[in-house]
Amino acid sequence: MKIAVLGTGMVGETIGSKLAELGHEVKMGSRSATNEKALAWAKKAGSKASVGTFADAAAFGELVFNCTKGDATMAALELAGEANLSGKVLVDVSNPLDFSKGMPPSLLVSNTDSMAEQIQRKFPKAQVVKALNTMNCSVMVTPRQLKDTHQTFLSGNDAQAKAKVRGVLEQFGWTNEEIIDLGDVTTARGTEAWLLLWIRLMGAMKTPTFNLKLVKA
Amino acid sequence: MKIAVLGTGMVGETIGSKLAELGHEVKMGSRSATNEKALAWAKKAGSKASVGTFADAAAFGELVFNCTKGDATMAALELAGEANLSGKVLVDVSNPLDFSKGMPPSLLVSNTDSMAEQIQRKFPKAQVVKALNTMNCSVMVTPRQLKDTHQTFLSGNDAQAKAKVRGVLEQFGWTNEEIIDLGDVTTARGTEAWLLLWIRLMGAMKTPTFNLKLVKA
């Protein structure tokens, strides 16, 4: 599949590399078509990897991963362009973390709204699926490194779009049972709010390499 | 131990009954000393159980469980009285759920503040410990009904107070390893925000009887 990865940070690099390793054609998008981090990534990721502007990447991908930082997401998606995102599955991995008031971060949007909803409202012709934002990027693409099964979540209005994202998660190593469809895009309020607990758990557990498993009776 | 349970709802009843069953003297507090639900509970819970006003209960207990609904908590604690809460460990089990805007509920306070902090600010001489608010009350007092180990959290400024609450949780059946101390009372922002995910998980899993287990590499 042709896939765009927006963002050159650790999340974009990790997801981009995994997708290329799986045989997908991956274009990493950033503000500049000659971004040094993106070029270095592409060199490492091999012949399936290429770079471009946000718009280049979004035009290229049939699936678009938003891996930009939450406070830069809206600007990045505007540069990607409404036309390039229309009809595309837009996987939102970002979290609206606000580091401006010190540590630990709070959320820029929460409780009665979410980043995923803001994106869906701004780009109504894209099919936004919130996914993978509930864990460290190493766990996202290598779920089997943890000592037990664990959960990941999908939030989005379009069932086909969620099925497509589920397929990619299964390629990452997630089992079908581990992937929980929470419902429409408003359920991203739940997975984004989880970050407020996650950042404190990272402190208490002294590692970012963990996730939650849901346990029933 | 002499323990106050504020609130006559399902959470108060469940925790009150478990505490009485464990041999503690439990006084359930509510607006009226002759609250019918409280009297019915005391009859069922046996000779260790008694009822009274919020103030009666808070004066009685060396440990006070706040099991009132989040939107009624502040009024209940004011009736309990600052003097009766001073020097006491105040276990805050409540969640600031706002059902006024329809389902699913949002939170009355979140992100940059929490209910537990509001209580601690209002009653600076009480030792507030946020605990058990992350799950259904049946799971709180019968953790071993789930099919695996799972986690519960403590948030509070006073180490001795948290140790006291940890001791009660162990009486409920929680193991020491399952109880995670997140840090000071501001970490309750994390466990209260978890409710925004919890309510949606309850929908997706079609049961309130579940909890999270933290899984590491």
CA B104 to chain CA mean position, Å: 21
Prior bond of B208 cis (ω within 30°):
no
Q: Radius of gyration (Cα) for chain A, nearest Å?
A: 16
Does domain A2-205 fall under CATH 3.40.50.720? My reply is yes
Is the distance from CB of A123 to CB of A85 less than 8 angstroms? yes
Find tokens 């190593």 and name the residue. Answer: A173
| pLDDT tens by residue, A112-150 | 999 999 999 999 999 999 999 999 999 999 999 999 999
Pull the structure tokens for residue A139: 């766990």
- Contact A144/B at CB under 8 A: no
In terms of DSSP bridges, do strands B179-183 and B152-156 run parallel, antiparallel, or are they unpaired?
parallel
pTM of the model: 0.97
Distance between the two ends of chain A, CA-based, in angstroms?
Answer: 40
Q: Radius of gyration (Cα) for chain B, nearest Å?
A: 16
Q: What residues of B are in contact with residue A150 (Cβ under 8 Å)? A: 215
- CA distance to partner chain A, nearest, from residue B163 (Å): 16
Return the beta strands (E) in B47-205 as ranges. Answer: 49-53, 63-66, 89-92, 97-98, 106-107, 127-131, 152-156, 179-183
pLDDT range class, residue B167, cuts 50, 70, 90: very high
* Neighbouring residues of B9: CB distance < 8 A, sequence distance ≥ 6: B67, B68, B69
- Contact B212/A at CB under 8 A: yes
According to the model, what pLDDT value does residue B84 have? 98
Pick from B106, B182, B205: CB nearest A214: B205
Prior bond of B104 cis (ω within 30°):
yes
State phi, psi for B9 to the nearest 5 degrees. -75, -170
Rounded distance between C-alpha atoms, residue A61 and residue A25, angstroms: 9
CA atoms within 13 A on the CB side of B49: 25
Helices A188-205 and A115-122, axial angle in degrees (round to 10): 140
Length of chain B in residues, anyone? 217
Pick from B181, B193, B217: CB nearest A193: B193
According to the model, what pLDDT value does residue A111 have? 98
A189: left (phi > 0), else alpha (psi -120 to 50), else beta?
A: alpha
Provide ipTM, 2 decimals: 0.97
| pLDDT tens by residue, A192-204 | 999 999 999 999 9
* Neighbouring residues of B80: CB distance < 8 A, sequence distance ≥ 6: B4, B6, B29, B54, B55, B57, B58, B64
Find tokens 């089992």 and name the residue. Answer: A175
* Neighbouring residues of B72: CB distance < 8 A, sequence distance ≥ 6: none
CA A107 to chain CA mean position, Å: 17
Taking Cα atoms as reference points, which of A217, A195, A192 lies closest to residue A208? A195
Rounded distance between C-alpha atoms, residue B107 and residue A111, angstroms: 6
Q: Closest-CA residue in chain A for B155?
A: A200
- Contact B173/A at CB under 8 A: no
| pLDDT tens by residue, B30-72 | 999 999 999 999 999 999 999 999 999 999 999 999 999 999 9
Whole-number percent of chain B with pLDDT over 70 = 100
Pick from B147, B187, B198: CB nearest A217: B147
State phi, psi for A147 to the nearest 5 degrees. -80, 0
In terms of DSSP bridges, do strands A106-107 and A127-131 run parallel, antiparallel, or are they unpaired?
unpaired
Whole-number percent of chain A with pLDDT over 70 = 100
pLDDT range class, residue A177, cuts 50, 70, 90: very high
